[in-house]
Structure 1
Amino acid sequence: MASPKTNNYYSKIISAIWLIFIAGLLGLGLYVYAVSINFLNLFGELPDFRALENPKSVLASEVYSEDNVLMGKYFLENRSPVDELRDLPQNLIDALIATEDIRFEEHSGIDFKGSFAVIYYKLTGKQDRGSSTLTQQLARNLFRTRTDLNKGLLSSVPGMRMLIIKTKEWIMAIRLERSYSKREILLMYLNTVDFGSGAFGIKSAAKTFFNKAPKDLQLQESAVLVGLLKGPSYFSPVKNPERSLLRRNTVIDQMQKYGFIQATEAEQAKSTEIALDYRVENQNTGIAPYFRTELSKFLLRWCKENGYNLYEDGLRIYTTIDSRMQRYAEEAVRENMEKQQKLFASYWKGREPWTYDNGATIKGFLEQQIKLTDRYKALKARYEDNEDSINYYLRKKIPMKVFTWEAPGEKEVVMSPMDSLAYYKRFLNTGFMAMNPLNGYIKAWVGGNNYKYFKYDHVKQGRRQPGSTFKPVVYLAAIDNGYSPCYQVMDVPVTFPAEDGRPPYTPKNDDNVFSGRSFDLREALAFSKNSVTAHLVQKLTPAVIVKYAERLGFSSKIEPVPAVGFGSSDVSLYEMCGAYGTFVNSGKWTEPVYLTRIEDKNGNLLLNFVPKSRDIISEETAYLMVHLLKGGADIKGGTSYYGLRFRHKLKNEIGAKTGTTSNYSDAWFMAITPDLVCGSWVGGENRSIHFRSAAYGQGNKLALPQYGLFMQKVLADKSIAINTGPFPKPTAPLTVEIDCAKYNNMGGLPQDSVNQNEILNPNIQLDEGI
């Protein structure tokens, strides 16, 4: 029997143990409380109740087409949320729980059993495993617990940083469990976790690795994605396919172990190879990248003015683009440009394509052009006037990828920066736009050959001389000032006298021949007779032509010079489509628009976009312009007739105009139908790079085919409602006769003896101040 002294000794030990235990509990409680309130800023801040109830997650803003197809995103982190857990496959949820947190339904944010198991594994040297629950991981993802923003004064003390981080995650996990249901936590986790390859959240991951929606993921695919959570780079199926396969099979084994799947299903899934459809999302990919870049310029301004972040706030942006028309436009451009590039390469084989007007090669062309590049400017800043060092790096050959029209669209080469410059200068460039003239909605926008390699946009950013596609502006001025489509003009030279230091100017016809016969205005526009345009410009004056151009929406500077009617001033394809749309829209100019509305991440309307429009010409004048333009497609010998009606076999009503600038530097084509206006441009990056033959370089050879191919595809798609004609007539009867045969052979009179006063309305005075 123990003595009283011994009993007293043991009693003191037990009391001491209890005191230590209670003190430990109190200390732990005080420590947790101190962390939760960030006592004396020792531990770093924790999110408050409001942040917990409304956790802010960085969300990509999404761009949608008019037919509700996701076109692309603007993001810092490629993160788009899944709205409901029911939109996810059960195999994905099972794989996640089996692998990451099997006691997810049992714990309240902290898995103490798992934590003690981790300590045991570490002490015994057995296989390591993680102890963080899904809720703790969610807290880490939502509130960035491991960033510098959340560090307190004690974070720099050795050993304290991770203890504080873990404590914070425990606290927030418990708070999250109190605020959200288990299903909500699962959904939030899957919407925020990093899967690697720039994909945040399951929606982006499924799209990136398998090009499908999460709901369509198969068991083996879900296992691959869950396997990435342990190490997105280490277990990447792209970078490390063997590791990814082993990790996927481990996930499947876990699912079998915990009864989510049967052994036969597990073996079948593990026997399947990983079949990726890997597509990393960035601005180079997706639908209409040139368009989305232009759209972002407006959106960034709007977000700045209205307190939103385009890259983080999950805005939903709805555009006017028709995804089907956009696809057909891109296909048409690719088919045409691949063919034209082969012809161009063959035409200039063995010669440099950068030439003066007389055909002589421009000496030192590349040396001058390289100085305009960012690479040269960076080298210049680094080496200052050390030209030897600059030239060394400009001519140093390095491995790189370059664009090619051959599949898959790029190839690996060894080139110097000078070689690369020469390579890309030999490419023809292009732009294509389609617009509904009745409401200004842009339906398709292709700004170049390939956005990844040709960033410059040739729809709105680029401006080039439009050539004869500008002639309808002259004809509009004539019609609006009393000229009839049947007004006849002799095909003879017209000379503009010397003025303001300019020499006398006598425009030539395309074939350098003046026939001496008379052409009515419809024929003259169809055959693109420069002599007739010169006659009209001289009668109306260049200043009047400029006024009409401004009324048609041209914001580019149009110079009032004698050559104005031949497209001597640079304009954009965007402006041209807007101008031509006026003719179809009964005389109302409508600004081309690409945006309909913007919503926040919850679907609340932030902006409803209404296009600008104004009446600028009468309904009759607009219809007469349509009648004139139809001549280009319908009169035999018209510049668009063969290409549209025979080469591309288009039977619908079309108004059309081709355009070619001096030395074939620019090839243009404009076309109108009752509910579509299209513009096409093809040319070199520099005006000195072009074909030197009408057989290859004219608008009907280079630019028209893109429209023809596009319309063939659009008309073949019965899901697209396109009005094939006829063009609607004005509500009031026409006041002029448009059947020129009633004038031309009246009583057997020769064409050049028609009384012009019957065709030119003498009561309308030229308005110089329009």
Structure 2
Amino acid sequence: MQLSRNLPRFVGSCAIAGVLVAGVLAPVAMGAGVLSNQVSDSVDGISASLTASQQPLVTTVTDRDGNPIATLFDQYRIPVTYNQIAPTMTAAIVGIEDRRFWSEGGVDPKGMVRAALHDSSGGATQGASTITQQYVKNYLINVVDRTDKAAQYADRADTIARKLREAKIAVQLGQTQSKQDILTGYLNVVEFAGNIYGIGAAAQAYFHTTPDKLNVQQAALLAGMVNNPNLYNPYTHPEQALQRRNTVIDAMVTNRTLAAKDAEAAKASPLGVIDNGPDIPPSTCMGAPADAGFFCSYAEGYLQQAGFTADQLATGGYTIRTTMDPVVSQTVKNAVDANVPTTQDGVANTFAVISPGQDTHEVLAMVANRNLGTDPAQGETSTDIVSHPSNVFGAGSSFKIFTSAAAMEAGKAGLNTPLPNQGGHCFVQPGANKYTPPYCIQNDGLHYPDPISLRDGLATSPNVAFVGLEQEVGMAAVLDMARRLGLRNTLTTNDAGATPDPSSSNPQYSEPQSQYFQNKLSFTLGNSPVSTLEMANVPATLMSAGKWCPPNPILSVTDRFGKPVPVKQQPCEQVVPPGLANTLMAGLSQDTVSGTSAQAAHAAGWTHPDIGKTGTTQESESVAFVGGVDNYAVSSMVFADGRHPEEICPGTPVHLGSCGHGAFGGTVAAPPYFSAFNQLLAGKPDVPIPAPDPAYLNAH
């Protein structure tokens, strides 16, 4: 007979049920056995973890005006209160998961016995967990142990010890929390397939609604999913999802929370989920708008350097208000896209804007013609090419700013100082021996005077004069000035723009730039990898009267409760005297008037007083414009970024090719600056350039 065959199993199941019930209602009855020890040793600790562990929430990144630009999360969750959940939803979940929820304790002894008897008959295994027990289990899996696969496995293990531990914690919760709080907690923590957690996120993702507006069929579908989110996923298994939804609706009728006639109407309706769903926002900065992706990535990295972990940012439910100016950012983005289209093969145009200041240098925009993403065919890149030293070809003659500042500080030259400037010259490299070849350089053209003043040299950029000045000042001083004015991270990378590799026998890869260029006079001609963002911080330092501050993308961070969270920042430093900074700015004030970008400035109708320095590498694989106007410090760089770099050619659009005489900083990198800031400064009064300090006009 069937009964005799199943009798041992029946007796065993009854014994298990008795142990569970007795263990929950009278723990002392268990004695001092191994099972009791396993449970007692862990319950208190787990109960404490349930109290201390906060549910992972979505972190929101905004611009300076509070407009969201991105979400960061590990679990997509929108927490809600009990009053924000429709009665249809609470009725549906109670009807299908735990119909005695409102009257029972944390566990249901009758259910345990019923499940044990049913299991002993050889049929499908029945669960006996109450919603409170399920809350405990889901909280352990999805919150407390979410990063520990082994612990999650134990949380799911089909053992008496696990079930008893879970039940005891459920009893404790039942004694300390209201039914409404338990049900709300459960609905906020449970998974609804994929990366969707909690009823708030589920209502949005599947129906584009909020939990308080869920109708019967919507609530029933979601309530049915929690039993097996993958099997009852309405997009991948619509038939099973429909059957499960209708089972929930029938359970609501059985539980007398839904009239039979209303149930039939609800069961006759389609699933009703949104098309092509579920609709889940991107969980990284790659979901940001085109003009905000690199900014968001930089802000995320900045906070990690300040002590936030990646997991904290993805789960903390922070609101990160950045310094990004949406008007400046979009205007500059439009300008670079017009200059070099997003999908233009092999050509990148990066652009950064920083607001100078004595206490902070706020980053206002970080854009490129490329967008942050993973599809190169769409002009996307996963590297933050604005903040990283991704321009591996260099910023060209804009590096002459560093040589000029170092010379002025050392008293080797002032703006009026005449500099030797032959048409071509060979220089002895620092630290050279008899086997070291000389460094030979020529000016680009024959129109330069010899000698030439430092002031005119900054405007017209002769190579020979600045290499000679660099040799006189010394590489150590020039490299240190570059670091002080802004290239803090750039100079720690190697000559390929990457982290130095000590195992390499080639100094180009094993040494940081700060060391590698100690004996190379080419540094002032800007032939080394450089960050567009850090290069924008160079004029920001000068415009701040010689005060360097880190490029700061953060206005504030608040936690999930709205409480401010402090963000550590490197202290600002007075790196050069105000007089030197103002004098160098005066020397840079002629570039758009009579210097290397004057022709492009005139074509753009540019009339604003500003500072600027262009740069062009020898093979025109990179061109740059670095400068500032009003309260904006800028850096625009156009460089080859493909696998087969070539000469950059001017045109509409800018492109790669063999054009004989390639692009220049003034003709290709400066135009986006003129275009964007003609718009941004329209109708605003001009801000004059500070007068030079007489102490820095002549050598001494």
TM-score normalised by length of structure 2: 0.70
1:152-196 CA distance string (max 9 Å, x none): 9xx99xxxx455544444333232121112232233213311122
CA separation of 1:96/1:58 partners in 2, compared to 1, >3 Å: closer, same or farther?
same
**2:44 paired with 1:48:** yes
- Please give the alpha-carbon distance, in whole angstroms, between the structure 2 residues aligned to 1:38 and 1:231: 37
1:301-323 CA distance string (max 9 Å, x none): 7669x9x9637873737464427
- Please give the alpha-carbon distance, in whole angstroms, between the structure 2 residues aligned to 1:54 and 1:673: 54
Amino acid at match of 2:135: L
- Please give the alpha-carbon distance, in whole angstroms, between the structure 2 residues aligned to 1:654 and 1:254: 74
- Please give the alpha-carbon distance, in whole angstroms, between the structure 1 residues aligned to 2:589 and 2:252: 68
Query: What is aligned with 1:632?
Result: 591
Match of 2:639 among 676, 683, 690: 683
Using the TM superposition, give the Cα deviation of residue 138 of structure 1 relative to its aligned residue in structure 2, in angstroms.
Answer: 0.3
Using the TM superposition, give the Cα deviation of residue 228 of structure 1 relative to its aligned residue in structure 2, in angstroms.
Answer: 3.0
8 Å contact from structure 1 (residues 652, 724) kept in 2: no
**2:647 paired with 1:726:** no
8 Å contact from structure 1 (residues 441, 594) kept in 2: yes
- Please give the alpha-carbon distance, in whole angstroms, between the structure 2 residues aligned to 1:200 and 1:472: 53
Using the TM superposition, give the Cα deviation of residue 84 of structure 1 relative to its aligned residue in structure 2, in angstroms.
Answer: 3.9
- Please give the alpha-carbon distance, in whole angstroms, between the structure 2 residues aligned to 1:514 and 1:693: 23
8 Å contact from structure 2 (residues 582, 693) kept in 1: no
Using the TM superposition, give the Cα deviation of residue 467 of structure 1 relative to its aligned residue in structure 2, in angstroms.
Answer: 0.7
- Which gives a bigger RCO, structure 1 or 2 (Cα 8 Å, sep 6+)? 2
Using the TM superposition, give the Cα deviation of residue 114 of structure 1 relative to its aligned residue in structure 2, in angstroms.
Answer: 6.7
1:426-474 CA distance string (max 9 Å, x none): x445644333222123344458643435333333443532212222223
**SS state of the match for residue 506, structure 1?**
strand
CA separation of 1:115/1:676 partners in 2, compared to 1, >3 Å: closer, same or farther?
farther
8 Å contact from structure 2 (residues 584, 692) kept in 1: no
Amino acid at match of 1:639: S
Query: What is aligned with 1:393?
Result: none
Match of 1:552 among 474, 477, 485: 485
**2:225 paired with 1:193:** no
Amino acid at match of 2:541: T
- Please give the alpha-carbon distance, in whole angstroms, between the structure 2 residues aligned to 1:216 and 1:711: 47
- Please give the alpha-carbon distance, in whole angstroms, between the structure 2 residues aligned to 1:201 and 1:688: 49
**SS state of the match for residue 615, structure 2?**
strand
- Please give the alpha-carbon distance, in whole angstroms, between the structure 2 residues aligned to 1:268 and 1:651: 70
**2:226 paired with 1:229:** yes
Query: What is aligned with 1:394?
Result: none
Amino acid at match of 1:664: S
**2:395 paired with 1:466:** yes
Amino acid at match of 1:493: G
Query: What is aligned with 1:609?
Result: 568
**SS state of the match for residue 187, structure 2?**
helix
Q: Which runs of 5+ in 1 are unaligned?
A: 1-20, 345-426, 717-722, 737-758, 766-770
Amino acid at match of 1:549: A
CA separation of 1:544/1:26 partners in 2, compared to 1, >3 Å: closer, same or farther?
closer
- Please give the alpha-carbon distance, in whole angstroms, between the structure 1 residues aligned to 2:50 and 2:553: 37
**2:324 paired with 1:322:** yes
Amino acid at match of 2:536: C
Using the TM superposition, give the Cα deviation of residue 582 of structure 1 relative to its aligned residue in structure 2, in angstroms.
Answer: 0.8
**2:22 paired with 1:29:** yes
Using the TM superposition, give the Cα deviation of residue 538 of structure 1 relative to its aligned residue in structure 2, in angstroms.
Answer: 6.0
**SS state of the match for residue 195, structure 1?**
coil
CA separation of 1:85/1:322 partners in 2, compared to 1, >3 Å: closer, same or farther?
farther
Using the TM superposition, give the Cα deviation of residue 661 of structure 1 relative to its aligned residue in structure 2, in angstroms.
Answer: 1.4
8 Å contact from structure 1 (residues 228, 236) kept in 2: yes
8 Å contact from structure 2 (residues 415, 697) kept in 1: no
**SS state of the match for residue 581, structure 1?**
helix
Using the TM superposition, give the Cα deviation of residue 231 of structure 1 relative to its aligned residue in structure 2, in angstroms.
Answer: 2.3
CA separation of 1:429/1:224 partners in 2, compared to 1, >3 Å: closer, same or farther?
farther
1:590-630 CA distance string (max 9 Å, x none): 12234566666656666442442122333344334444444
Match of 1:668 among 624, 628, 646: 624
CA separation of 1:636/1:602 partners in 2, compared to 1, >3 Å: closer, same or farther?
same
**2:175 paired with 1:178:** yes
CA separation of 1:279/1:488 partners in 2, compared to 1, >3 Å: closer, same or farther?
farther
8 Å contact from structure 1 (residues 466, 660) kept in 2: yes
Query: What is aligned with 1:743?
Result: none
**SS state of the match for residue 662, structure 1?**
coil
- Please give the alpha-carbon distance, in whole angstroms, between the structure 2 residues aligned to 1:713 and 1:226: 54
CA separation of 1:708/1:228 partners in 2, compared to 1, >3 Å: closer, same or farther?
farther
8 Å contact from structure 1 (residues 283, 289) kept in 2: no
CA separation of 1:53/1:547 partners in 2, compared to 1, >3 Å: closer, same or farther?
closer
Superposition map of 1:231-270 within 5 A: 231-241=228-238, 243-244=240-241, 258-259=257-258, 266=266, 270=270
RMSD: 5.2
Query: What is aligned with 1:358?
Result: none
Amino acid at match of 2:188: N
Q: Report the number of matched residues.
A: 617
Using the TM superposition, give the Cα deviation of residue 684 of structure 1 relative to its aligned residue in structure 2, in angstroms.
Answer: 3.5
**SS state of the match for residue 286, structure 2?**
coil
Amino acid at match of 1:59: P
- Please give the alpha-carbon distance, in whole angstroms, between the structure 1 residues aligned to 2:697 and 2:629: 29
Superposition map of 1:388-537 within 5 A: 427-429=346-348, 431-438=350-357, 439-445=360-366, 449-452=371-374, 454-462=381-389, 464=392, 465-477=394-406, 481=411, 493-499=423-429, 500=432, 501-509=436-444, 512-514=445-447, 516=449, 524-530=457-463, 533-534=466-467, 536-537=469-470
Using the TM superposition, give the Cα deviation of residue 588 of structure 1 relative to its aligned residue in structure 2, in angstroms.
Answer: 1.0
Between structure 1 and structure 2, the one with the greater Rg is 1
Greater CA drift, 512-521 or 588-597 = 512-521
CA separation of 1:64/1:143 partners in 2, compared to 1, >3 Å: closer, same or farther?
same
Superposition map of 1:245-324 within 5 A: 258-259=257-258, 266=266, 270=270, 272=272, 274-275=274-275, 276=277, 278-279=279-280, 281-283=282-284, 285-287=286-288, 310=312, 314=316, 316=318, 318=320, 320-322=322-324, 324=326
8 Å contact from structure 1 (residues 653, 724) kept in 2: no
8 Å contact from structure 2 (residues 329, 367) kept in 1: no
- Please give the alpha-carbon distance, in whole angstroms, between the structure 2 residues aligned to 1:227 and 1:532: 78
**SS state of the match for residue 47, structure 1?**
helix
**SS state of the match for residue 433, structure 1?**
strand
CA separation of 1:162/1:334 partners in 2, compared to 1, >3 Å: closer, same or farther?
farther
Using the TM superposition, give the Cα deviation of residue 580 of structure 1 relative to its aligned residue in structure 2, in angstroms.
Answer: 1.9
1:407-444 CA distance string (max 9 Å, x none): xxxxxxxxxxxxxxxxxxxx445644333222123344
1:251-276 CA distance string (max 9 Å, x none): 67777872499689959975855233
1:646-696 CA distance string (max 9 Å, x none): 56x777665443322121222333342333333343434478612354554
**SS state of the match for residue 183, structure 2?**
helix
**SS state of the match for residue 173, structure 1?**
helix
- Please give the alpha-carbon distance, in whole angstroms, between the structure 1 residues aligned to 2:552 and 2:249: 51
8 Å contact from structure 1 (residues 36, 168) kept in 2: no
1:70-111 CA distance string (max 9 Å, x none): 665666x41556264445566655554455445543333345
1:276-313 CA distance string (max 9 Å, x none): 36336444633356566666666667669x9x963787
Greater CA drift, 23-32 or 102-111 = 23-32
Amino acid at match of 1:548: M
Identical positions, percent: 21
Amino acid at match of 2:423: P
**2:529 paired with 1:570:** yes
Using the TM superposition, give the Cα deviation of residue 708 of structure 1 relative to its aligned residue in structure 2, in angstroms.
Answer: 6.1
CA separation of 1:236/1:518 partners in 2, compared to 1, >3 Å: closer, same or farther?
farther
- Please give the alpha-carbon distance, in whole angstroms, between the structure 2 residues aligned to 1:87 and 1:525: 65
- Please give the alpha-carbon distance, in whole angstroms, between the structure 2 residues aligned to 1:244 and 1:321: 45
Using the TM superposition, give the Cα deviation of residue 478 of structure 1 relative to its aligned residue in structure 2, in angstroms.
Answer: 5.5
**SS state of the match for residue 341, structure 2?**
helix
**SS state of the match for residue 550, structure 1?**
helix
Match of 2:550 among 582, 588, 591: 591
Amino acid at match of 2:374: K
- Please give the alpha-carbon distance, in whole angstroms, between the structure 2 residues aligned to 1:459 and 1:35: 65
- Please give the alpha-carbon distance, in whole angstroms, between the structure 2 residues aligned to 1:712 and 1:690: 31
**SS state of the match for residue 310, structure 1?**
helix
- Please give the alpha-carbon distance, in whole angstroms, between the structure 1 residues aligned to 2:666 and 2:88: 57
